[in-house]
Structure 1
Amino acid sequence: MPVFNAPFSNTRSVAEMVLGELLLMFRGIPSANAKAHRGEWNKLAVGSYEARGKKLGIIGYGHIGTQLGILAESVGMKVFFYDIENKLSLGNAQQVRHPV
């Protein structure tokens, strides 16, 4: 079986998956889904939050991290990232540094 490096082939897919998982957690979908499968139906939205206005920290601002930052900004999140190298941010993302 041939194995090879394919940069950029799944970058956007992974970033979209991460954002999707974040949105699921914000809304409490996994626990609500489990309750629905047990026959419980909770109509309350307690513990359900919007992404807009939330802060997202990304560790590693490579191909996937930059795409995640762009997607997160598109739903109104404020993006901060850390990388061992100085990086030019895309959009309004802000680089944070580790104090020495």
Structure 2
Amino acid sequence: MKKPSPNEREALLISLLMQLFTGEITEGQLLRTLRKDLLNMSQTEYAALVKVSRRTLSDTERDTGSQSLAVLNAIFRPFGLKAGLLPRNPALMKKLLAEDTAPDSTR
């Protein structure tokens, strides 16, 4: 499998984040796709990279367990991401995203 270019990596990351923010995918699905498609790494390899157990990584990808913010931040750090607060309501998230991308002369 060929490694994606920096532009392809960024486009994939943005696309996946938009899917996450609109509720189309879960955090676990995001992580699994990034691990496989961007890094082409097995769970064992990636778990060693981020210094968590393979079981913790597997649980995170399956959206099970209750990982701490520190663990989530460690797991997502290689992708330039960190855990944070998002609206649970998809309609509110879409409105927030629309306002963030709308032209605004007061910024």
TM bin, normalised by shorter chain, reads under 0.3
TM-score (norm 2): 0.26
Structure (1/2) with the larger helix percentage: 2
Higher Rg of the two aligned structures: 1
TM-score (norm 1): 0.28
